[in-house]
Chains A and B, each alone.
Chain A
Amino acid sequence: MNKRFVKWLYHELSELVDQGIVPEETAENIRQYYGPVQEINKRKIALIVFSCFGAIFIGLGILLLLANNWSELSRSSRTILSMTLLLAAQFLTGWTLLYKKDSIAWRESASTFLMLSIGITISLICQTYHISGNTSDFILTWMVLGIPVVYLLDASLPILFYLIGMIIWSIEVQSAYGHAMLFWPLFALIIPHFWKSIKRDPLSFRSVHLSWEICLCLCIATGIVLEKRLPGLWIIVYASLFVVMFYIGLIRFDHSKGIRYRPFQNVGLGGIYVLSLLLSYDWPWKEIGWRYFRSGSLHHGTAAILDIILAVVLFSLVICYLGDSARKKQFSNLYIGLAPVVAVIAYLIAGFKDTTVYSVLLFNVYLFVLAVGTIKMGIQNNRLGIVNLGMLVMSALIFARFFDSSISFAARGLIFIMIGAGFLTANIVLTSRGKYGEPT
């Protein structure tokens, strides 16, 4: 249960016990059932955050100081200074490992300083020797040299730099006609650290911020890493990825906590809504499928196979999720998990027939059902936030279609009247059942 509600309940319990309404024994049983309210140590978090920012600013400040006198230094002096910076960061990290291992603030700031120093040192040396080598090699070297620090110091902030670095590396490699297949094994390097963190406490500050970083990184990187030899495969990959994220969130994270504690559910759900809205237009469905298969030396065969493997693996996980939801009779989750299934059907239709109409129609219907389902779920669970989310999705769909110039005025008019009539009918049916109370 939300921490705020538990606090409120405990406050009320004391009063109820005082008034003699609830026996002390029952109150104690309730307290034992919900457990203690764990207060976040804000001072501790502030200390860690300030230490990390301190390390970042010191690293960057040293870089600027070096740059100020750079022109007056000989090549050997520049080289020695660059290496000294790395040595100093390593010394600090070693000292932290020996004497401050129990301090999170020290571990996070020292590891961040070392992570930054590796990049600064290599770039200063490259600058000294006018090495024009490609950016992707530089970033890859930096990241691979830096990531073990995460495990040695049990620190998480370097992972943020690592993930940003890997995204930039993927962009660089793909834009230079290369392939970014290596992203996946490199991404996997952080999983043991993340797993350890969520096993320890899935709702800790570290687990939550790592979850957000991983979710956002996957959202951005997946599209970049895809080789895109089979046009439109991204639709199935992204639809499946978002559902898998939602599924992971459901099984691994306590969904009774606040929004910020549920990155996997939120990113997954948000992704499904946004993707479905995009797929309700006709542009994603144009020139896709095997008939437009891209060939030539600029596309890599192995990377293209990896795209298909990724799509198959993610879609298989979606099938697991759907089976699991059906087995547990969680039908409200079923229609969320249907997005990849609808995507596959729409993709096959667009691939076989050279028309986008059916695929667009399918996703418009799906998004409509999704929005109505969300509103229904919100009403059933008495959660205004979910009702509002459903309304927002519905409004977005209405807005998108109202201004969709590819549909004639007459057709749009008829569809809107039919949907409006449908809503009114549903309202009448619900009211007549008396389940949701009288309309206001």
Chain B
Amino acid sequence: MNNKKWLLGCFLCLALVQLFVPAWIIIQREMTLRNGQPFRFQTDPISVKDIFDKRSISLPISQNPVPKPSNIQLFPNQLVYVLVDKDDQGFARIESLSLHKPKGNDFFKAEVDYVKGRQVYLNLPFDRYYLEEKPFPAVSDDYQKNDRKAPQEGSVVVRIDKGRAVLEELYIEGKPVLEFLENFK
């Protein structure tokens, strides 16, 4: 009986840890979405075909790669702090990279993917957008006949708070992606 109680106690501890991990992911993201500053990052043109055909699309953030700072040595998988600012048009701009936690709140953590010459390619925490499977099949069929196959202008709104960046919405031609897809005819 004692053995059973002990096992059950261990299982309850394990269950709490198992619940804590996804719960912590949720809490962190929700807090960032609630309290974070919005930054709009421009992307390279996004293929509409990818949006219809794939369950997740890779977002080609225009600010990636960033110029390599001359005073620091960077390696793949290295954690860096990315300082951001806004340009005249209101779009986010990566100011610099740092190995030390900067002051203020306009920064987020990212990993170095690789360094090529004077450019640093980053694994940004908001470079992927997940879509539902075949969200708009009727539109998708229509798209096959449509000649608007050219890649579309895109941007993402990212909330940044305490070094964490969370993707809030993907915009295609200035509209949220789902709204864009609904009206795509």
Contact = CB atoms under 8 A, between A and B. Distances in A.
Contact of A297 (B4, B7, B75, B132): B75
B82 to A, nearest CB: 14
Contacts of B56: 127
Contacts of B130: 127-128, 130
B92 interface: no
Contacts of A79: 26
Interface string B1-19: 0001001101110110111
B70 to A, nearest CB: 17
B125 interface: yes
Nearest to A132: B128
Contacts of A67: 132-133
Given A130-B128, A130-B167, A297-B75, A121 B114 contact: no
Contacts of B21: 122, 141, 145
Contacts of A71: 132, 135
Nearest to B135: A71
Contacts of A152: 7, 10-11, 14
A97 B11 contact: yes
B99 interface: no
B66 interface: no
B17 A145 contact: yes
A132 B11 contact: no
Contacts of B15: 90, 93-94
Contacts of A133: 125
B98 to A, nearest CB: 19
A148 B125 contact: no
Nearest to A71: B132
**Among B8, B25, B127, B128: residue with most chain A CB under 10 A:** B25
B151 interface: no
A98 interface: yes
B123 interface: yes
Contact of B22 (A93, A125, A134, A149): A125
A34 interface: no
Contacts of A149: 14
A130 B125 CA distance: 9
Interface in B99-156: 111, 114, 123-130, 132-133, 135
Contact of A121 (B8, B22, B133, B166): B22
Interface stretch (A81-89, A311-319, A347-355, A398-406): A81-89
A129 B22 contact: no
Contacts of B11: 93-94, 97, 152
A189 interface: no
A221 interface: no
Interface in A102-131: 118, 121-122, 125-131
A176 B76 contact: yes
B29 interface: yes
Contacts of A148: 10, 14
B140 to A, nearest CB: 13
B125 A129 contact: no
B29 A177 contact: no
Given A93-B11, A94-B8, A132-B128, A122 B25 contact: yes
Given A130-B126, A131-B29, A148-B14, A297 B76 contact: yes
A190 B57 CA distance: 37
A94 B125 CA distance: 36
Given A86-B18, A90-B19, 9 more contacts: A70-B133, A79-B26, A93-B11, A94-B11, A122-B22, A125-B22, A128-B130, A132-B128, A148-B14
5 contacts: A71-B135, A86-B18, A130-B126, A131-B125, A132-B127
Interface of B: 4, 7-8, 10-12, 14-15, 17-19, 21-23, 25-26, 29, 56, 75-77, 111, 114, 123-130, 132-133, 135, 166-167
